Homo-oligomer: A and B are copies of this chain.
Amino acid sequence: MAIKYAKRMNNLKASEIREILKLTERPEVISFAGGLPAPELFPIEEMKLVSELVLNEEGAKALQYSTTEGYGPLRDKIAKRLNGVGIQGDGDKVLITNGSQQGLDFSAKIFINEGDIIVCESPSYIGAINAFKAYLPEFVEIPTDDEGMIMEELEGVLSSRENVKMIYVIPDFQNPSGRTWSVERRKKLVELGNKYDLPIIEDNPYGELRFEGEFLPSVKSFDTEGRVIYLGTFSKTFCPGLRIGWVYADKELLHKYILIKQAADLHSNSMSQRELDKFLELYNLDEHIEKIKVVYRKRRNIMMDTIKESFPEGLKYTYPEGGLFTWVELPKDINARDLLIKALEVNVAFVPGGSFFPNGGRENTMRLNFSNMPEDRIKEGIQRLGKVIAEMMKQ
């Protein structure tokens, strides 16, 4: 049998993170690999109540087919919450998706023909890179510093390359780097989007998890022409298992996403949408997020303190003000994939950074997650990792 696949299938391989996660299911492994929220914070009791209420009050509707756009009251509540990132939200501009991952897939599906250019941060989110790859784009990575994407480099690309079709960014507590863009860069990005007439995909799964420092308005909040498409999710602030994210965009753009969603899977889970809506009605999600932040802040602190104490001198790493990740640059001659093999021998896991560069390279980097492990295991794991790094540096 020699069935022929579409060309895009040559481009796809299993996400390295997912494969590593499989290895790390053994309970003795201290994993900094995933981007998993802390399950002990999930509102299980509240879920039991809202689930019962939804089934009592509107069970038949919750189990029936529903509209592609999503459950109206939930769309309205999401729009209202967007005030938190400086957006005067409108429920009609919200499409419910299966996590923001689906919004990433749809974005490339809507904008990208084979060979078109997607501009992204270097490094960028591996899940976005994999979703985009199915549409056979060319990636152009833009160097970043502590304030985000470097705008002169971005303009250099936009002014010299013809078939750039979209810009993809994660301005808050970026995955994988943990960095956050300055306000100036956010404004400048919109300016350049306007000048070169390009859609901007702003992916913001972590923005609500700020532990310290000042609030920064979203890129979308500076959008003057309706070209910023904002992707949000409840995966990090509520729970990921329900797969509820959203696309927020102006009407014409949103309509394209709705068409694609209809063709892709008709609509998102009706029951879970109503459960989440009921939760938002009965409980205070912001209070819940405060609880999450207290725990993650402590975990971030212990990770960063232990890195400082236990990692060899001369490594670079980011100090994230929120989110789930820090990012470490090892000496140039150390390959993080080799390091991972040695780390797994002492039951510590992380994601080598190379996969976050769509065009490859930078194998001396790694992403560390601090949200999913308790404090004592973070300390222990980072200490072990420090030793393994030190040994590799000696060789």
Which A positions have Cβ atoms within 8 angstroms of B? Answer: 1-9, 12-15, 18, 34, 36-37, 39-40, 42, 44, 47-48, 51-52, 55-56, 59-68, 97-99, 101-102, 105, 109-113, 116, 127, 130-131, 133-135, 165, 197-199, 225-227, 235, 239-243, 253, 256, 258-260, 262-272
A65: B residues at CB distance < 8 A: 34, 36, 235, 240-241
Given the complex of chains A and B, what is the CA–CA distance between A227 and B268 in angstroms? Answer: 30
Q: List 18 A-B residue pairs with CB atoms under 8 Å apart, sorted by A's residue number.
A: A2-B197, A6-B111, A6-B135, A12-B259, A12-B260, A15-B262, A36-B65, A39-B60, A40-B60, A44-B59, A48-B52, A48-B59, A51-B51, A51-B52, A105-B264, A130-B263, A269-B269, A271-B272
Which of A98, A165, A225 has the most C-beta atoms of chain B within 10 angstroms of its own C-beta? A98
Q: Is the CB of B44 within 8 A of A55?
A: yes
Tell me whether A253 and B3 are in contact in the complex, defined as CB-CB below 8 angstroms, given that A9-B110, A60-B40 are known contacts: yes
CB distance from A257 to the nearest CB of B (A): 11
Q: Is the CB of B48 within 8 A of A63?
A: no
A63: B residues at CB distance < 8 A: 39, 42, 44, 47, 239-242
A18: B residues at CB distance < 8 A: 67-68, 262
Tell me whether A109 and B8 are in contact in the complex, defined as CB-CB below 8 angstroms, given that A101-B266, A127-B266 are known contacts: yes
Given the complex of chains A and B, what is the CA–CA distance between A64 and B243 in angstroms? Answer: 9
Nearest CB to that of A264 among chain B residues? B105
Nearest CB to that of A199 among chain B residues? B3
